């Protein structure tokens, strides 16, 4: 890009910058953390990337190189991305969404990684053989939320935890979900186009005939060309069955969205293509519908609560604010744990977005007895606005009928779970049986209309992927069991004459990759072991740092040091840090003076008259925060990451 072109760019910096990423007060701790994570003899080989934002740019650090890029407003709408610096190799340069789209390709990638295997459940793939689809977009959106971390650790795809299957990272294996649309308005076939998780909700709105409204587009700017209050995605027009005038040949009357939690796209697609006896009910929908060959690229992180709400709102997690299963709220100093809480988690979803449940009610009216739109969220984390939402403790239906339907589905349960003495899978099988019972009850209860939108989450496929691995027979048994439940629903819809008028969607919240369980990898724990102060939910790092302000007299004989917590509280102010030890000296010698900060966070210290200001080092320590080492002018003394990681600046400015 020429200097003239660069000058015309209007940067699209984080929409609500309030502590996420690194600021000047976190340079020292941030550099130390990145260096530890990439060079530690055990953790370094397990860590793929460390990601952050600062000074107008997004940074991705890896052993093989680093990249800094910026986001700007594109002239024709949307965002565009510019690389402004690389050192060594751009670690996320390969962003192909078509990479590793089959099990055979995953096996070949493992072989090229030096881990040859004939078992797809042991495909341990190194970063050089991976792609990172939509990496710039997915990283940038994350840091739009004030709930985003200071640093995001991206483990290698096989190096996370002690379960046989894992997810959460940026790589293609964990970031691809299956995606199939089937029903009125859908052109059958196998599509080659790119689909994103944020495109699902706008496509539903397009097929159901929602009007366009005044809202916000993916850039956060006002738009009259959106279907939802905040819309990051776009309708998947390529798959629509349109007449010569561009109108849908048929429109669905309702939508049923099956979320096969954690289901590997390559595993499901292999079974659809190569095993004619497998998953007959999903096969039926796939053959009559449109299957996206390369699946759907999911939210970052590729994890449960954020991704479910991305599907249900058409917004990335950085915009709907439910950014992780667990995350830290800087202003209240509390951990938000939707995953741990499970119930009533709609409270964490930002009010700037609209769920499909809310949109259906806006378009078709609220449910009122036998009229209006009735929507359901069955064991689904995105339930805000749903009339029946189990996880929001709003339920509709007769308990006796629910028990009867649950009992009827007992034969669907695989005998494997009992034979393997796997109580967790037995519990999840029961929950999924209760889920399909709810669906049958909701569609056969004549006291209200059939649900116009149902968002149904099946847990079993995720549990099996974690416990057995994404390509194990145990996972296949879970998919077959789920398919039997789907078959019960399809039979009921046919019996009631509702099948042909229903749009079905099959997808998942994230992918799943095989894990080297013997590593028991937990990269973030290293920082605590090394004495750093941080909050570490999942693979995210929220550094606990101090903001230090230094004033010195004109004769440089006295310094006034003010120490504050770096993260502002709910009032927007940084609280003073009392009891911090402040010392003054030079870089090599013992302290020349020391003092403790008072309740106001202030300490005053004498400066040595014979010590040049450039040699003065002020150190601030407190048990609750990372230590700070500063020059007299207030600048941090931090590790030179470029020198330590790559042997020198060697920057290639774009």
- Give the C-alpha separation, 220 to 229, whole Å: 10
Take residue 385 and report the two structure tokens written for it: 């606005």
- Give the C-alpha separation, 50 to 494, whole Å: 50
Other CB atoms within a 10 A radius of the CB of residue 440 amount to 24
The helix or strand, by DSSP H or E, that contains position 442, with its residue range, turns out to be helix 423-444
Give residue 538's region: left, alpha or beta (phi > 0; psi -120 to 50): left
DSSP string, 376-435: EEES-S--TT-SEEGGGTB--S-HHHHHHHHHHTGGGS-THHHHTT-HHHHHHHHHHHHH
- Give the C-alpha separation, 642 to 652, whole Å: 12
Beta bridge partners of 70: 82
Domain at 182-514, CATH class: alpha beta
Domain-by-domain residue ranges, the chain?
A: 3-173+516-543, 182-514, 546-623
DSSP string, 216-238: E-TTS-EEEEESSSB------GG
3-state secondary structure 468-526: HCCCCHHHHHHHHHHHHHHHHHHHHHHHCCCCCCEEEEEECCCCCEECCHHHCECCCHH
Report the pLDDT value the prediction gives residue 519, as an integer from 0 to 100: 96
DSSP string, 26-70: GHHHHHHHHHHHHHSTTTGGGEEEEEEEETTEEEEEETTEEEEEE
Take residue 570 and report the two structure tokens written for it: 């709910």
By percentage, how much of the chain surpasses pLDDT 90?
92
Residues 6+ apart with CB under 8 A from 259: 308, 311, 380, 455, 456, 457, 458, 507, 508, 509
pLDDT at 5 over 80: no
| Local structure of 574: helix, strand or coil | coil
pLDDT at 32 over 80: yes
pLDDT at 652 over 70: no
- 291, 430, 497 from 177: Cα distances, Å: 12, 25, 30
Q: Which of 128, 120, 146, 119 is nearest to 65 (CA)?
A: 128
Q: What is the mean pLDDT of residues 221-230?
A: 97
Q: Place 645 in a pLDDT band, splitting at 50, 70 and 90.
A: very high
Q: What is the pTM of this model?
A: 0.96
Q: Quick one: CATH architecture of 546-623?
A: Sandwich (2.60)
Report the pLDDT value the prediction gives residue 4, as an integer from 0 to 100: 44
- 331, 371, 601 from 18: Cα distances, Å: 9, 44, 22
Q: What is the mean pLDDT of the chain?
A: 95
Residue with tokens 């984390």: 381
Cβ atoms of 465 and 471 within 8 Å: the answer is no
Among the residue ranges 556-560, 561-565, 604-608, the one predicted with the least confidence is: 556-560
Residue range 237-263, pLDDT digits in tens: 999 999 999 999 999 999 999 999 999
Report the pLDDT value the prediction gives residue 649, as an integer from 0 to 100: 58
Q: Place 556 in a pLDDT band, splitting at 50, 70 and 90.
A: low
Q: Which of 318, 268, 285 is nearest to 184 (CA)?
A: 285
Report the pLDDT value the prediction gives residue 3, as an integer from 0 to 100: 47
Q: Which of 306, 315, 318 is nearest to 345 (CA)?
A: 306
């Amino acid at each position: 890009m020429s200097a003239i072109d660069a000058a015309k760019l209007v940067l699209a910096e984080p929409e609500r910058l309030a502590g996420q990423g690194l600021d000047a007060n976190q340079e020292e701790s941030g550099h130390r953390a990145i260096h530890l994570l990439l060079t530690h003899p055990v953790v370094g080989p397990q860590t793929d990337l460390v990601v952050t934002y600062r000074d107008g740019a997004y940074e991705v650090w890896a052993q093989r190189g680093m990249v800094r890029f910026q986001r700007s407003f594109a002239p024709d709408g949307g965002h565009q991305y510019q690389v402004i610096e690389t050192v060594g190799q751009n670690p996320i340069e390969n962003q192909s969404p078509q990479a590793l789209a089959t099990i055979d390709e995953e096996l070949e990638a493992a072989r090229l990684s030096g881990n040859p295997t004939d078992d797809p459940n042991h495909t341990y793939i190194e970063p050089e053989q991976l792609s990172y689809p939509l990496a710039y977009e997915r990283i940038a959106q994350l840091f739009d939320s004030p709930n985003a971390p200071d640093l995001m650790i991206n483990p290698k795809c096989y190096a996370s935890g002690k379960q046989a299957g894992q997810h959460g990272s940026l790589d293609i294996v964990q970031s691809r979900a299956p995606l199939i649309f089937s029903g009125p308005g859908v052109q059958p076939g196998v599509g080659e186009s790119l689909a994103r998780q944020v495109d699902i909700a706008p496509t539903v709105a397009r097929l159901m005939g929602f009007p366009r409204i005044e809202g916000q587009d993916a850039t956060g700017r006002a738009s009259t060309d959106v279907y939802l209050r905040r819309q990051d995605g776009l309708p998947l027009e390529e798959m629509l069955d349109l007449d010569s005038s561009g109108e849908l040949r048929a429109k669905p009357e309702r939508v049923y969205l099956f979320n096969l939690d954690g289901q590997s796209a390559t595993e499901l697609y292999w079974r659809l293509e190569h095993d004619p006896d497998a998953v007959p009910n999903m096969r039926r929908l796939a053959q009559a519908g449109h299957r996206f060959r390369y699946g759907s690229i999911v939210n970052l992180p590729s994890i449960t609560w954020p991704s479910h709400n991305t599907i249900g709102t058409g917004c990335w997690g950085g915009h709907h604010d439910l950014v992780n299963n667990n995350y830290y709220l800087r202003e209240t100093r509390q951990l938000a744990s939707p995953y741990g809480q499970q119930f009533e988690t709609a409270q964490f979803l930002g009010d700037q977005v609209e769920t499909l449940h809310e949109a259906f009610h806006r378009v078709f009216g609220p449910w009122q007895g036998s009229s209006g739109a009735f929507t359901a969220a069955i064991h689904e984390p995105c339930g805000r606005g749903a009339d029946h939402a189990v996880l929001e403790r709003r339920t509709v239906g007769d308990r006796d009928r629910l028990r009867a339907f649950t009992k009827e589905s007992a034969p669907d349960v695989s005998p494997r779970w009992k034979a393997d003495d796997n109580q967790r899978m037995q519990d999840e099988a029961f929950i999924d049986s209760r889920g399909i019972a709810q669906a049958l009850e909701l569609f056969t209860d004549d006291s209200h209309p059939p649900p116009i939108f149902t968002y149904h989450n099946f847990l079993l496929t995720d549990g099996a992927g974690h416990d057995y691995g994404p390509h194990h027979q145990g996972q296949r048994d879970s998919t077959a069991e789920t398919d039997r439940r789907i078959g019960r629903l399809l039979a009921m819809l046919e019996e009631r004459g509702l099948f042909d008028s229903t749009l079905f969607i099959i997808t998942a919240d994230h992918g799943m990759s095989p894990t080297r369980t013997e590593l028991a990898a937990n990269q973030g724990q290293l920082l605590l072991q090394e004495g750093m102060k941080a909050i570490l939910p999942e693979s995210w790092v929220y550094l606990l740092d101090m903001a230090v302000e230094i004033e010195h007299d004109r004769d440089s004989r006295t310094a006034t040091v003010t120490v504050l917590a770096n993260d502002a509280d709910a009032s927007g102010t940084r609280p003073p840090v009392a009891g911090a030890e402040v010392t003054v000296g030079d870089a090599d010698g013992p302290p020349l003076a020391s003092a403790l900060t008072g309740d106001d966070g202030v300490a005053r210290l004498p400066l040595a008259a014979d010590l040049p200001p450039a040699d003065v080092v002020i150190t601030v320590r407190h048990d609750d925060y990372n230590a700070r080492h500063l020059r007299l002018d207030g600048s941090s003394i931090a590790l030179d990451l470029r020198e330590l990681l790559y042997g020198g600046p060697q920057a290639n400015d774009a």
